Amino acid sequence: MSVQAGNLKKGEFIIYQNDIWQVQKTEFYSPGKGSALMRSKLKNVKSGKTIDYSFKSNETIENLDVTSNEMQFLYKNNEVAVFMDNQTFSQFELPLSIIGSVVNFFVEGMSVFVYLHDETPLNVRSPASVNLKIIQTEDAAKGDTVSNARKEAITETGATVMVPLFIKTGDIISVNPETAQYSGRV
């Protein structure tokens, strides 16, 4: 399906230079003279390479038709993350270079949505927040009441998150995986 570059949105998959790319960021730019541009950041779904490219807003781009299936995160090793389709029990591997740092917040057994094109996994849709248990953090010193003070905490997945001083080992917190920021105590 073809679309105008001016209608590109973050998260869409396009065919550019005979490869599949995911749009990471878009910004509409209209100079005083000349045609308007759509500045975009694209990520190659095979190599993980990112590029910045400016399309003319009236340029036609081939948009890729993808499906989003709910799958269970099984495990990750040094190179890939493995997901299982809940209906067919088929397993799919995605390189960690494609998924990015959000995989550091995935707990084994959690459900995530995986983008597929012709039964080939392209990427995952990161959940808005995940609940993780704190396995290690320092205790706050009495009287340490600087406003908005933060300390490091290590979660059950091994990811490090900056949390408020009142968070203790054993607490369960909510974290935004895309920004790696604490969003609340559960």
For residue 174, which of 112, 128, 109, 126 has the smallest C-alpha distance?
Answer: 128
Residues 143, 117: Cα–Cα separation, whole Å = 55
Structure tokens at 173: 């917190």
Residue 32: which residues within 8 A CB-CB, separation 6 or more?
none
pLDDT at 142: 63
pLDDT at 81: 93
- Provide CATH code, domain 67-125: 2.40.50.140
What class, spelled out in words, does domain 2-63 have in CATH?
mainly beta
For the domain made up of 130-185, give the CATH fold: OB fold (Dihydrolipoamide Acetyltransferase, E2P) (2.40.50)
Residues 94, 111: Cα–Cα separation, whole Å = 15
Same fold, 67-125 and 130-185: yes
In a structure prediction context, what are the per-residue pLDDT tens digits for the chain, which is 186 residues long?
788 888 899 989 999 999 999 999 999 998 888 888 999 999 998 888 899 999 998 899 999 989 999 999 999 988 899 999 988 999 999 999 888 889 999 999 999 999 999 888 999 998 899 999 999 998 876 665 666 788 899 999 999 999 988 889 999 999 999 898 999 888
pLDDT at 2: 85
Every domain of the chain and the residues it spans: 2-63, 67-125, 130-185
pLDDT at 131: 93
Q: Starting at the earlier edge strand, list the strands of the sheet with 111-117.
A: 91-95, 80-85, 67-76, 111-117, 120-125
CA end-to-end distance (rounded Å), the chain = 43
Residues 149, 24: Cα–Cα separation, whole Å = 32
